[in-house]
Amino acid sequence: MNSENFTSKFWVVTIMILTAAFTRLIPHPPNFTAVGAIALFGGAYFSDKKFAFIIPLLAMFLSDLAIGFHSGMISVYLSFVIIVGIGIMLSQNIKVKNIFAASLISSIIFFVLTNFQMWLQGTLYPKNISGLIACYVAAIPFFGNSVLGDLFFVGILFGLYALIQKKLPAAVKVRA
């Protein structure tokens, strides 16, 4: 790895992501976590886009080591990777309305993928369209928490970063 990759901006973004991932380890309402936010934020702010994937995925993995793994991990990590990609697209035009839209889209992707896997692998719902619809309907209360959690933590991460850019610009300056 090139040492020029490890600027103060890199460390600020990394520390923010690791700190946000810690919120998964403290008591919280179901699905009200920073998961979507750290993926979106990492995609938006890592200059070297390989770290946009590596650092948020590492933060997820480390928190999963503490929480435990489950059979739905494939869809969780797949949605996480897609959300990082959305963050990378967002990095081209970071504005409040775009951040808000990206957060909502991220919540929807997470909801669709994780509940599809739940239906596909689970035994609670019949393997037909009615069962799939029932699975999604049953998950709606969790979707509300996901949307609120994503918006809340996206607001904190992007807002705090904007504050750092304004008050401590040298901390997030990228060397040329």
Q: What is the pLDDT of residue 50?
A: 96
pTM exceeds cut of 0.85: yes
Q: What is the pLDDT of residue 4?
A: 47
Q: What is the pLDDT of residue 140?
A: 95
In whole angstroms, give the CA distance from residue 99 to residue 15: 20
Q: What is the pLDDT of residue 33?
A: 92
10-residue stretch averages of pLDDT, the chain, 176 residues long: 69 95 90 94 95 95 90 92 98 97 97 96 96 97 94 97 92 66
What is the distance in angstroms between the CA of the first residue and the CA of the last residue of the chain?
Answer: 17
| Torsion (CA) 7, 81, 95, 23 in degrees, nearest 10 | -80
In whole angstroms, give the CA distance from residue 16 to residue 39: 12
Orientation of helix 49-67 relative to helix 73-90, angle to 10°: 150
pLDDT digits (tens, 9 = 90+) for 35-66: 999 999 999 999 999 999 999 999 999 999 99
In whole angstroms, give the CA distance from residue 57 to residue 77: 8
Q: What is the mean pLDDT of the chain?
A: 92
In this structure, the chain runs to a length of: 176
- 41, two tokens: 């934020």
